[in-house]
Structure 1
Amino acid sequence: MAAPSDNSNPDHPPGKFSETEKYPLPNQGHLNVHDPNIVQYDSSFYLFQGGIQVLIFKSSSLSGPWTKIGTVLDGPTVIEKQNQTRPWAPTTVEWNGQFYCFYTVSEEGIRNSAIGVASTDSIDSGSWTDHGGLVYTEKGHLSHVWPYTVSNAIDASFIKDQQTGQPYLQYGSYWHGIFQVPLAEDLLSVKDPEHPDAKNLVFLPEEKSKPDEGSFMSYQEPYYYLWFSHGKCCHFGNGFPAMGKEYSIRVGRSKDVRGPFVDHQGKQLTEGGGTIVYDSNHGVVYAPGGLGVLPANSTHPEILYYHYRMTAT
């Protein structure tokens, strides 16, 4: 299931858009959104969209139609950083009878970022409480603590250790890649915040540019799967990168939630590994990424969803 981004109909420079048929064309979600996040609850699907106050849409089908039902925030986030009214990349989870939405406060190309969290008792109520920041990088509370000194606090995702029940937050983009930190039981802070038991999960040690971001973790016994976006995501107004340098969806797996994660060739993701699962294709789908995975249930198998840029309509 895929959602086209809202910057469609680019010119077609030769040799930039892959015509491969190796990957299937996506099933359309019929909603233009960057970094979609989808939760299934009580036979309905809820889609969370970054932007003004974090929009929430609801549908009975992944194909839509989607109805806007509210926003996560009532106004600017309480996190005192730039871009307070337009949080990015939300990830919402159900935990102990409540819903928690992790969101990013940042601007493109900087590391002065934060990941915040809001919660509600009812996903349909339209009433959320903004609890503020969990992780700050460059500036803010405990930003002097490693790994916040080398990472970028954007693109949060969530996973629970299947054996211990311990909740974890994944985050990160460029700089030193993707990290994982354990969360407190109430999900409102990092566990032992001054001494976080952090793990670096994805890194490109040999490359000057390190375009790994947008991680998501899923579980299918006996493996945890770490999905992420690699490459240039957007802002192609000044030209398109060489073919293959745009976003693609990659993955590694591990039997331990803490890693190390390896690709299908056994290369660790911290050494630049990552199996390409989905890439630009058919001359139509460009730069797929910003992904998530809906777990399997009685009505459908696991579903990979993502955004992409349409090269034709």
Structure 2
Amino acid sequence: MYRSTVLLLLLAALVALARARPASSGLLTPTLSQVYETTDTIPLPNVGNLQVHDPNVVYWNDHYYLFKGGVHVLYYKAANMSGPWTQVGTVLDGDSIIHQGNRSRPWAPTTVERNGTFYCFYTLSTHGSQNSAIGVATSTKLDGSPWTDHGVMIRTGQGNGSDVWPFTISNAIDASFIRDNATGKAYLNYGSYWHDIWQIPLSDDWLSIESPEKPDAKQLTFIPNETFRPEEGSWMSYHDGYYYVWFSHGKCCSFDVRGFPARGDEYNIRVGRSRAVRGPFLDRDGKLLLDGGGTIVYASNHGLVYAPGGLGVLPGNSSTPDILYYHYLNTSIGFTDEQAQLGYNYLKYDNGWPVVLDGITIKSGAVTIARLPGWWSLMILSGMWTLIVVPVSVNMGDFPC
């Protein structure tokens, strides 16, 4: 009884502090019922404490490295997913050697490691264009040392190789990576609105695609009988015998310029699975992803989290579950692309299907409470009030605070 009374008093004080915060004069304020999803059935994110769009996280040598789109592809380092993050350097020393799209600000990097070499796949494009390219750069260090830009892997729209199927109908953005767990064969996944998401085998050196004049391409997702097919930002992960295709579905960005979509039409994170790396992939209801299927794993919630997407999955280990990470817009901060925040949730698997774990971090006076079982813990971290809500089934050691 005493513990509950103390907790309620502390929560009341935190709520009062949150309400006392001055409103941001630059914050867009669309109608709540039109834009925000106020459901509390989806857990809030753990806060990553970094502004980022389309994050990519690599765990290496006991540290997290986060890559993000922007000038020359910036990357950061932290001891924990919650930060603090320190900028290490950039992948590119200058503009990409690929003469396509926005050469100075590549999008959506994905970095993987093999035998001490890091491969960063990056996108060159412009908003709403199929004139796109995916390039790759390599390095043997993550300390700010120069990377080698190897140039283009695939093109769509214009340029050498863009006249080869399926590059004639797809869009070369948002590269991700997967290896066949049995054979070690590597594949590049990519695509967006133009015929959605595809998979292409990579050459043995991972610097080019296999058989570029006649690639063995497989389509992974598609929305039939529609001209508007908002699926992009794919990721593939592997867990306990299944390959999972993750993707962002819905309208993404520039809400301050383009306006807000109807409620529920904004970004959300979906998944399908297969026993084979090349599919076919089905959602939890048994619907093919090629028939428009996809199980929603994470979406707008609590009136605070809006349009989560641009995701990745960081494999867990014996002490930590898999981590789903993504960017989202915090409605108390703002809706411009530059205000996108890093969020993450731990995953559990329900009959082989990924589900985000309850467990949230609430920082700096922005107080929200989720309905969770078990005891609650109140802590002060880095000089800020922080409420950690943890179900009894999760070990506190799993939360890198």
- Same fold at TM > 0.5: yes
2:184 matches 1:153: no
- In 2, the alpha carbon distance for the partners of 1:150 and 1:267 equals 24
Report the counterpart of residue 277 of structure 1 in structure 2. Answer: 297
Report the counterpart of residue 193 of structure 1 in structure 2. Answer: 212
2:67 matches 1:22: no
2:97 matches 1:101: no
Report the counterpart of residue 3 of structure 1 in structure 2. Answer: none
Measured against aligned partners, the alpha-carbon deviations of 1:220-277 in whole angstroms (never above 9, x if no partner) come to: 0210000000000111124211111000000000000000000001101011000000
The letter of the residue matching 1:86 is: R
- In 1, the alpha carbon distance for the partners of 2:292 and 2:60 equals 36
- In 1, the alpha carbon distance for the partners of 2:95 and 2:319 equals 38
- In 1, the alpha carbon distance for the partners of 2:248 and 2:307 equals 9
Tell me the matched-pair count.
306
Residue 90 of structure 1 deviates from its aligned partner by 0.2
The letter of the residue matching 1:56 is: Y
The letter of the residue matching 1:10 is: L
SS at match of 2:303: coil
Q: Structure 1 202/173 Cα, relative in aligned 2: closer, same or farther at 3 Å?
A: same
Report the counterpart of residue 71 of structure 1 in structure 2. Answer: 90
Report the counterpart of residue 4 of structure 1 in structure 2. Answer: none
Of stretches 12-21 and 163-172 in structure 1, the one that deviates more from structure 2 is 12-21
Report the counterpart of residue 102 of structure 2 in structure 1. Answer: 83
- In 1, the alpha carbon distance for the partners of 2:230 and 2:218 equals 18
Report the counterpart of residue 181 of structure 1 in structure 2. Answer: 200
Give yes or no for contact 1:120–1:129 (8 Å, CA) kept in 2. yes
- In 1, the alpha carbon distance for the partners of 2:82 and 2:277 equals 32
- In 2, the alpha carbon distance for the partners of 1:120 and 1:9 equals 40
Spell out structure 1 runs of 4+ moving beyond 4 A: none
2:289 matches 1:264: no
Give yes or no for contact 1:9–1:310 (8 Å, CA) kept in 2. no
- In 2, the alpha carbon distance for the partners of 1:278 and 1:298 equals 24
- In 2, the alpha carbon distance for the partners of 1:207 and 1:231 equals 13
2:135 matches 1:116: yes
- In 1, the alpha carbon distance for the partners of 2:114 and 2:126 equals 29
Give yes or no for contact 2:101–2:133 (8 Å, CA) kept in 1. no
SS at match of 2:246: strand
One of 289, 294, 297 as aligned partner of 2:317: 297
Residue 125 of structure 1 deviates from its aligned partner by 4.4
One of 111, 134, 141 as aligned partner of 1:92: 111
Residue 82 of structure 1 deviates from its aligned partner by 2.7
Residue 41 of structure 1 deviates from its aligned partner by 0.3
- In 2, the alpha carbon distance for the partners of 1:201 and 1:162 equals 18
- In 2, the alpha carbon distance for the partners of 1:13 and 1:304 equals 29
Of stretches 88-97 and 100-109 in structure 1, the one that deviates more from structure 2 is 88-97
RMSD of equivalent CA atoms: 1.0
One of 10, 13, 32 as aligned partner of 2:31: 13
| TM-score, length of structure 2 as denominator length | 0.75
Name stretches of at least 5 consecutive residues in structure 1 with no aligned partner: 1-7
- In 1, the alpha carbon distance for the partners of 2:143 and 2:180 equals 28
Name stretches of at least 5 consecutive residues in structure 2 with no aligned partner: 1-25, 334-401
The letter of the residue matching 1:214 is: G
- In 1, the alpha carbon distance for the partners of 2:289 and 2:149 equals 34
Identity score, percent: 60
Residue 185 of structure 1 deviates from its aligned partner by 1.1
Give yes or no for contact 1:105–1:154 (8 Å, CA) kept in 2. yes
| TM-score, length of structure 1 as denominator length | 0.96
User: Where does 1:202-281 land on structure 2 (aligned, <5 Å)?
Assistant: 202-237=221-256, 238-281=258-301
SS at match of 2:290: helix
Give yes or no for contact 1:69–1:126 (8 Å, CA) kept in 2. no
The letter of the residue matching 1:13 is: T
Measured against aligned partners, the alpha-carbon deviations of 1:258-312 in whole angstroms (never above 9, x if no partner) come to: 0000000110101100000001000000000000000011341100000001111
Larger Cα Rg: Structure 1 or Structure 2? Answer: 2
Give yes or no for contact 2:188–2:200 (8 Å, CA) kept in 1. yes
Residue 138 of structure 1 deviates from its aligned partner by 1.1
- In 2, the alpha carbon distance for the partners of 1:126 and 1:62 equals 23
